[in-house]
Amino acid sequence: MKKKHWQSVMMFLFVLSLSSAAWAIDIMIEIPNGDFEDGTLSGHTLTGTGIGKVVNSSVVSTAGSPATGPTAFETAFPVFGNFFATFSAGTPTTTLTTDSFWAEAGDFFKVYLGFDSEDWGGFFNDAMSWGLKLVSPNVVVVADVVADTDSLGAYGDSGWIEVLTEIPLSGFYQAEYSVWNEGDSAYDSWARVDAAHLIRKVPEPAINLLLPSALVVLGWTMQRRQKARMKNISVA
């Protein structure tokens, strides 16, 4: 095969490989009861003095003042499905921890979180945080504040916040969601959790099937060209 033909083949394979990478699809991988669709907190451990429950809706305060208390309310609903988890801070903090789950390097962990402040800024800054850790060895991958009273205002609510983070190493992981009352528990703030899952990119099956077929077509085409060239030489 002449050099220019080899160059054509290599260029074809290069372009096809780029196409294969571009045609990856996302698949969702569930973690144990990450969406709470069994109606319980199974697959999770609640620690602290707060109250934890699974609900299909929850009334949250969205505005207020120290003098009047909460003055505006909304109803929070599940992001997906029929249920979500909600839990109060208690004294001084309560944490909801997932059972360990396997994740591969390059996966993405996704969850929806919400914080309902029952305090007011400038006094006690209640807050919600979350974290993701590799179980063994014990490595904290994420430790972040979701929302707090100072940022939301008196009796404010964050709404649902989408959280997405990439898994750096394959292994068993746990996610932790915490809400705390700063200074007192007279005004008990609440956290919400829903739809925790993994996202994994996999090659589009159609592209994998296309590669061998394309190589066959390419070989057949080049063979035809070679025969035509030899025929022209014979006629000449």
Tens of pLDDT, residue by residue over 59-98, are 999 999 888 889 999 999 999 999 999 999 998 999 999 9
Q: Is 157 exposed, middle or buried (0-12, 13-18, 19+ CB in 10 A)?
A: buried
CA distance 145 to 153: 16
Residue 12, in any domain of the structure: no
Q: Do 196 and 210 belong together in one domain?
A: no
Least confident of 14-23, 42-51, 63-72, 193-202: 14-23
The residue behind tokens 């014979």 is: 234
Q: Do 61 and 100 belong together in one domain?
A: yes
Q: Do 143 and 84 belong together in one domain?
A: yes
Q: Do 81 and 146 belong together in one domain?
A: yes
- Whole-structure pTM value: 0.78
Predicted pLDDT at 66:
82
Instruction: Give the torsion through C-alpha atoms of 97, 30, 168, 113, to 10 deg.
Output: -50
More reliable by pLDDT, 117 or 22? 117
Q: What is the mean pLDDT of residues 200-227?
A: 61
Q: Do 132 and 180 belong together in one domain?
A: yes
Instruction: State the total domains in the chain.
Output: 2
CA distance 179 to 145: 10
Q: Do 234 and 166 belong together in one domain?
A: no
Residue-wise pLDDT for 143-169, tens only, equals 999 999 889 988 999 999 999 999 999
Q: Which backbone phi and psi does 38 adopt, to 5 degrees?
A: -85, 0
Q: Which backbone phi and psi does 158 adopt, to 5 degrees?
A: -80, -15
Q: Which backbone phi and psi does 116 adopt, to 5 degrees?
A: -115, 105
Q: Do 229 and 146 belong together in one domain?
A: no
Residues 17, 23, 24: CA angle, nearest 5 degrees? 105
Residue 229 has pLDDT above 70, yes or no: no
